Amino acid sequence: MSTPTTTDRVAVNGVELYYEIHGEGSPLVMLHGGVNPSDMFGAPLAEMAKTHKVIAIHMRGHGFSTDSDAPWSYEQMADDVDALLGTLGIDKIDVMGWSLGGGVAYQLAIRHPERVGKLIAISMNVRNNGNFPEVEAAFEAMPDMAAQIAQGVAQSPLGALYPDADWETIFRKTGEMNQHSYDWSADIAGITAPTLLIFSDADMMHPEHIVEIYKLFGGGTRDAGVDGALRPTSNQLAIIPDTTHYDLMLKATKSATDYANAFLAK
């Protein structure tokens, strides 16, 4: 675990977003996955903080941030992150997001392109039906099961880590947020920030959708040639073997942070 040099809450868009600052170096925003900020903000944050000044943000309703009565959306969370960075006086910064955080990172690059330097999007689709049907079914069922799931989580180590979290609301809003049909393909194709896409080899989405996303960023259109000079794009794709959507950030061997650090160092 990394020890923060700064912790605070900032009022933005009707909520208070909690953030921590770790490490020294070129600045980087890290955006966690759904429900549990600690998965992203444990070992992955500690690794990135060795070489970067990391701003770790808890999205609205998650971790130590507060919530409002409004429904959640990737777009709203991206606007929240943009507002927080503006309050901190940060004009442009590299952004790294996993799962939920990957969707927020996409939307930040779409809605506030001037804010994003380099973009690292990890294990996130750009169409809801890019996911496997069982993933979509789980999101459909989640609101009705929220109270039951929350009861177990509240008694778990995760519940002890975030004692003020409203777990029933978190699971209900997570399900509702992902029930809506969406297709960001056209907007994704317009992202100009240099981008690294990272997926697991057993991810929550069809492998064809991973290829589709990479093509939206200009990849996979031709042979790069012996010396790589004909590579169609500077954007990059990594698929990490022996991982799933759920443990991708937790596996240590040739991890997502290795690829992220190499990409950001270029």
pLDDT, tens digit, 9 for 90 and up, residues 4-26: 999 999 999 999 999 999 999 99
Q: In the structure encoding, which two tokens stand for residue 67, read together? A: 């919530």
State the DSSP code for 233.
-
The whole-number pLDDT of residue 251 equals: 82
252 — pLDDT class (breaks 50, 70, 90): low
Q: How many domains does the chain have?
A: 1
Instruction: Specify the 3-state DSSP secondary structure of 173.
Output: helix
> Each residue of 114-138: pLDDT tens digit?
999 999 999 999 999 999 999 999 9
Nearest to 200, CA basis, from 96, 122, 104, 254: 122
> Each residue of 195-223: pLDDT tens digit?
999 999 999 999 999 999 999 999 999 99
Averaged pLDDT for residues 31-54: 95
Is 78 among the domain residues? yes
Averaged pLDDT for residues 150-169: 95
CA dist 87 → 106, 124, 161 (Å): 21, 27, 27
Indicate if the pLDDT at residue 98 is higher than 60.
Answer: yes
We report the CATH number of the domain holding residue 14 as 3.40.50.1820
Is 146 among the domain residues? no
Is 211 among the domain residues? yes
Is 165 among the domain residues? no
Q: Are 37 and 101 in contact (CB under 8 A)?
A: no
> Each residue of 70-97: pLDDT tens digit?
999 999 999 999 999 999 999 999 999 9
Cα distance between residue 99 and residue 105, in whole Å: 10
Instruction: Specify the 3-state DSSP secondary structure of 133.
Output: helix
253 — pLDDT class (breaks 50, 70, 90): low
Kindly give the pairing relationship between strand 93-98 and strand 26-31: parallel
Q: Which residues have CB under 8 Å from 230's CB, separation 6+?
A: 222, 223, 224
Is 250 among the domain residues? yes
Q: Name the amino acid, one letter, at 140.
A: E
The whole-number pLDDT of residue 48 equals: 96
Indicate if the pLDDT at residue 254 is higher than 70.
Answer: no
2 — pLDDT class (breaks 50, 70, 90): confident
Cα distance between residue 18 and residue 75, in whole Å: 18
Indicate if the pLDDT at residue 142 is higher than 80.
Answer: yes
Is 198 among the domain residues? yes
Q: Which domain holds residue 203?
A: 6-132+184-265
Q: Are 195 and 236 in contact (CB under 8 A)?
A: yes
Is 41 among the domain residues? yes
Instruction: Specify the 3-state DSSP secondary structure of 112.
Output: coil
Average pLDDT over all residues of the chain: 96
Q: What percent of the chain has pLDDT over 70?
A: 99
